[in-house]
């Protein structure tokens, strides 16, 4: 239910709900431009941009942040 005190029933596991809550708290008040800037400053995105500058096509490639795997 939308309103000043939204109420909803979550069917997500607690661990997932905690991650979603953290993301909303961190980025929820940002503009689209600020979110885009924030994404472009992450290490995975900088690595992808380096690969693209070197001539590699990085479209539609998986990005696994923790393992630093940027595509195959």
Q: Is the pTM of this model over 0.85?
A: no
Q: What is the dihedral of CA 25, 41, 31, 58, to 10 degrees?
A: -110
Query: H or E element: which one contains 32?
Result: helix 32-40
Domain membership of residue 8 (yes or no) is: no
* pLDDT given at position 62: 78
Domain membership of residue 1 (yes or no) is: no
* Domain count along the chain: 1
Helix orientation angle between 43-53 and 32-40, rounded to the nearest 10 degrees: 70
Task: State which residues form the domain around 32.
Answer: 13-72
- pLDDT tens readout for residues 42-70: 888 888 899 899 999 988 887 776 655 55
């Amino acid at each position: 239910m939308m309103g000043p005190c939204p109420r909803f029933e979550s069917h997500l596991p607690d661990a997932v709900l905690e991650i979603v809550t953290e993301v909303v708290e961190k980025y929820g008040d940002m503009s689209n431009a600020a979110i885009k800037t924030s994404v472009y400053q992450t290490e995975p995105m900088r690595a992808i941009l380096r690969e693209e500058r070197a001539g590699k096509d990085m479209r539609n490639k998986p990005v696994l942040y923790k393992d630093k795997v940027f595509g195959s």
